Amino acid sequence: MQLKQEGHRRAHRVAAMAFAGAVALMLGGCAGAGAPPISSADVAVGLESYRLGAGDRVRVTVFNEPSLTGEYNITPGGALAFPLIGMVNAGGRTIDTVQQELTAKLAEGYVNDPRVSLEVLTYRPFYILGEVNRPGEYSYASGMTVEQAIARAGGFTYRANEKTVFLRRQKGTGESAVPLRSAQVAVLPGDTIRVGERYF
């Protein structure tokens, strides 16, 4: 009789463990559903190939032409309104490409042998949502990582999943899962970081 009762207890414990494991797997799947891990190429991404967009503020220097040198905003439509030559498409283009177009257009009868330099003064903000103490919009700082961005937003709430967060690039089609405390993942202007809840 005692052996029979012990067998029932053991079977009950095994069933309970199996059920708990199944629940954990289901919850884990929900936490990362539709979010592939961040790619190795994206881990090291920086501003070298940065593409301009709405909200960026740039300084254009035209050497020996003080009337053309100044600070300009990229419009919501992605354009840069420049004296003499009008609207220049800047959204989604690199700094070098826009600089070359400005040089070429000024050379079309406006400035003899123009030398143009373009630099970003203020990058568009990034966004952080979910389980952080101060979610919202934040000004971008060059070289920022995902973990630094979370710290800037006041750190995790007590409900936060502190192992994995989700990152969507401004031009991306979906989120990528970012495992924390491994490789440092760069934040870019316009990115959205989402911190989810932990499930157990």
Average pLDDT of the residues in 69-98? 95
Query: For the chain, which domains are there?
Result: 38-43+125-195 (3.10.560.10), 57-122 (3.30.1950.10)
pLDDT score recorded for residue 39: 61
Give the chain's mean pLDDT: 81
pLDDT score recorded for residue 174: 84
Query: Can you give the three-state secondary structure of the chain, one letter per residue?
Result: CHHHHHHHHHHHHHHHHHHHHHHHHHHHHHHCCCCCECCHHHHCCCCCCCECCCCCEEEEEECCCCCCCEEEECCCCCEEEECCCEEEECCCCEHHHHHHHHHHHHCCCCCCCCCEEEEEEECCCEEEEECECCCEEECCCCCCEHHHHHHHCCCECCCECCCEEEEECCCCCCCEEEECCCCCCECCCCCEEEECECCC
Is it the case that residue 13 has pLDDT exceeding 60?
A: no
Is it the case that residue 9 has pLDDT exceeding 50?
A: no
Share of the chain above pLDDT 70, in %: 74
Average pLDDT of the residues in 111-127? 94
pTM of the model: 0.70
